[in-house]
């Protein structure tokens, strides 16, 4: 059997995710041989949505040029449009999708005094924080997880918000002071999930990757991404979405879109069957657009 090359970005988080994936692949396919290849990226490991998209594209190019056979992505960084020639072969079991609060003197978002400085580079987090606590100051925070933790230690910020999943995968769960509930902070579509992407027609890579597929996680993410796609909002709009799937296959999906200042937002919910995850996501997007989301997004584009 040929050696299967698993491609990853070089950040500590990407490498931790890939190590986890390759361990599971080896358990599932003891007779197969897997090799990890770090794809050199032009960016610096930063965290703006645009940089995320560049990293994704470079990994996808490495797939198409046969440099790698399975690419490991953070699902929330993957554009909703799949490039021709590639397909998502598997969505492994999802990690905690929530956002995490890490404080210095104050250990809960509710405890921060007025004027406290919160660090995040995400427009979605900024908008929701300001909607919940308009008295706080939100300041840009970029770089990889280490850089961001260091910035908190330096006293530049009173608290920072990061995806819980990233910290957990880096064995830094003990740094999390508070998990933010979806009522306060609806996660990004796909947050906490990974995607294993392969070339269309590479049946071997597809079959090997599929051993890690987790149906309920895939259905949740499918609904959330369909919502994002249905909004036609692009990666710069503050959009949150979170689906849950019950054991009996019932799916509930919450979605929201905000203005960057958090002053207006539309939030809606839909319920149905996991088997129609995509339709539910698209329908919720239509609801939100009709309830005023269209004007709200036009306002954002006009900025």
Ligand X SMILES: NCc1[nH]cc(CCC(=O)O)c1CC(=O)O
Cβ atoms of 94 and 192 closer than 8 Å: yes
Q: How far apart are CA 193 and CA 223, in angstroms?
A: 13
- Residues lying near ligand X in the complex (CB under 6 A): 47, 52, 74, 76-77, 162-163, 165-166, 191-192
Q: How far is the CB of 20 from ligand X (least distance, A)?
A: 11
Q: How far is the CB of 189 from ligand X (least distance, A)?
A: 10
Q: How far is the CB of 195 from ligand X (least distance, A)?
A: 10
The residues that bridge with 197 in the sheet, in sequence order, are 71, 88
Q: How far apart are CA 75 and CA 93, in angstroms?
A: 12
Q: How far apart are CA 24 and CA 17, in angstroms?
A: 11
Closer to ligand X by CB, 202 or 224: give it: 224
**Residue 114 DSSP one-character state:** T
Active site residue 261: no
- Catalytic-labelled residue, pool 69, 77, 202, 219: 77
Cα 53 to its chain centre, rounded Å, is: 12
Q: How far apart are CA 92 and CA 101, in angstroms?
A: 25
Instruction: Give how far Cα 134 sits from Cα of 83, 121, 209, 263, 265, Å.
Output: 40, 17, 45, 9, 14
Q: How far apart are CA 213 and CA 190, in angstroms?
A: 15
Q: How far apart are CA 197 and CA 164, in angstroms?
A: 23
C-alpha angle with apex 71: 65 to 75, nearest 5 degrees?
130
Closer to ligand X by CB, 166 or 281: give it: 166
Closer to ligand X by CB, 76 or 199: give it: 76
Q: How far is the CB of 217 from ligand X (least distance, A)?
A: 12
Q: How far is the CB of 289 from ligand X (least distance, A)?
A: 25
Closer to ligand X by CB, 7 or 166: give it: 166
Closer to ligand X by CB, 191 or 217: give it: 191
Catalytic site positions: 77
């Amino acid at each position: 059997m040929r050696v299967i090359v698993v491609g990853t970005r070089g950040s500590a988080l990407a490498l931790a995710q890939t190590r986890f994936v390759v361990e599971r692949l080896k358990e599932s396919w003891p007779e197969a041989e897997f090799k990890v290849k770090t794809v050199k990226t032009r960016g610096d490991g930063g965290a703006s949505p645009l940089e995320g998209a560049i990293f994704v594209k470079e990994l996808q190019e490495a797939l198409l040029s046969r440099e790698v056979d399975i690419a490991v992505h953070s699902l929330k960084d993957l554009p909703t449009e799949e490039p021709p020639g590639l397909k998502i072969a598997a969505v492994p079991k999802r990690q905690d999708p929530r956002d995490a609060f890490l404080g210095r003197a104050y250990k809960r978002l509710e405890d921060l005094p007025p004027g406290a400085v919160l660090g995040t580079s995400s427009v979605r987090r900024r908008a929701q924080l300001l909607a919940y606590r308009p008295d706080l100051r939100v300041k840009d925070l970029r770089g990889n997880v280490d850089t961001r933790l260091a910035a908190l230690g330096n006293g530049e910020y009173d608290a920072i918000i990061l995806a819980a999943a990233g910290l957990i995968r880096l064995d830094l769960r003990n740094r999390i002071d508070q998990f933010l509930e979806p009522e306060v902070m609806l996660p990004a579509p796909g947050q906490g999930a990974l995607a294993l992407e392969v070339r269309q027609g590479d049946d071997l890579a597809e079959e090997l990757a599929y051993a890690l597929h987790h149906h309920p996680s895939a259905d949740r993410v499918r609904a959330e991404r369909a919502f994002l796609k249905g909004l036609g909002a692009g990666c710069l709009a503050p959009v949150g979405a979170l689906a849950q799937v019950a054991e009996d296959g019932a799916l509930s999906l919450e979605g929201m879109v905000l203005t960057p200042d958090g002053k207006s937002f539309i939030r809606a919910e839909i319920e149905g069957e996991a088997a129609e995850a995509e339709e539910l996501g698209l329908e919720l997007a239509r609801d939100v657009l009709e309830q005023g989301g269209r004007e709200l997004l036009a306002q954002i584009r006009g900025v």
